[in-house]
Chain A
Amino acid sequence: SQQGEEDPQALSIQEGENATMNCSYKTSINNLQWYRQNSGRGLVHLILIRSNEREKHSGRLRVTLDTSKKSSSLLITASRAADTASYFCATPGNTGTASKLTFGTGTRLQVTL
Chain B
Amino acid sequence: GAGVSQSPRYKVAKRGQDVALRCDPISGHVSLFWYQQALGQGPEFLTYFQNEAQLDKSGLPSDRFFAERPEGSVSTLKIQRTQQEDSAVYLCASSLVRGLTYEQYFGPGTRLTVT
Would B101 and A102 count as touching, CB distance under 8 A? no
Would A42 and B103 count as touching, CB distance under 8 A? no
B77 to chain A, nearest CB (A): 15
Q: A96-B58, A97-B48 are in contact. Are A48 and B103 (CB under 8 A)?
A: yes
CA distance A42 to B110 in the complex (A): 11
Q: A88-B42, A100-B56 are in contact. Are A43 and B91 (CB under 8 A)?
A: yes
User: What is the interface of chain A mostly: helix, strand, loop, or mixed?
Assistant: strand
Which residues of A line the B interface, CB within 8 A?
1-2, 30-31, 33, 35, 42-45, 48, 88, 90, 92, 96-106
Would A105 and B45 count as touching, CB distance under 8 A? no
Which residues of B line the A interface, CB within 8 A?
31, 33, 35, 40-45, 48, 55-56, 58-59, 91, 93, 95, 97-109
B65 to chain A, nearest CB (A): 16
A residues within 8 A CB of B107?
Answer: 42
Specify which of A98, A102, A104 is in contact with B45 (CB 8 Å cutoff).
A102
B residues within 8 A CB of A2?
Answer: 41-42, 44
User: What is the interface of chain B mostly: helix, strand, loop, or mixed?
Assistant: loop
B residues within 8 A CB of A104?
Answer: 42
> Ordered nearest first, which 9 A-B pairs have the shortest CB separation?
A103-B42, A92-B101, A97-B56, A45-B103, A43-B106, A42-B108, A100-B45, A97-B48, A99-B101
Would B48 and A103 count as touching, CB distance under 8 A? no
Q: Which residue of B lies closest to A90 (CB)?
A: B42
CA distance A62 to B40 in the complex (A): 25
Q: A97-B55, A98-B100, A98-B101 are in contact. Are A105 and B41 (CB under 8 A)?
A: yes
B91 to chain A, nearest CB (A): 6
A residues within 8 A CB of B59?
Answer: 100
Subset of 21 A-B contacts with CB under 8 Å: A1-B44, A2-B42, A33-B103, A42-B107, A44-B106, A45-B105, A88-B42, A98-B99, A98-B100, A98-B101, A99-B33, A99-B97, A99-B98, A99-B102, A101-B35, A101-B43, A101-B45, A101-B101, A102-B45, A103-B44, A106-B41
B residues within 8 A CB of A98?
Answer: 99-101
Q: Which residue of B lies closest to A50 (CB)?
A: B101
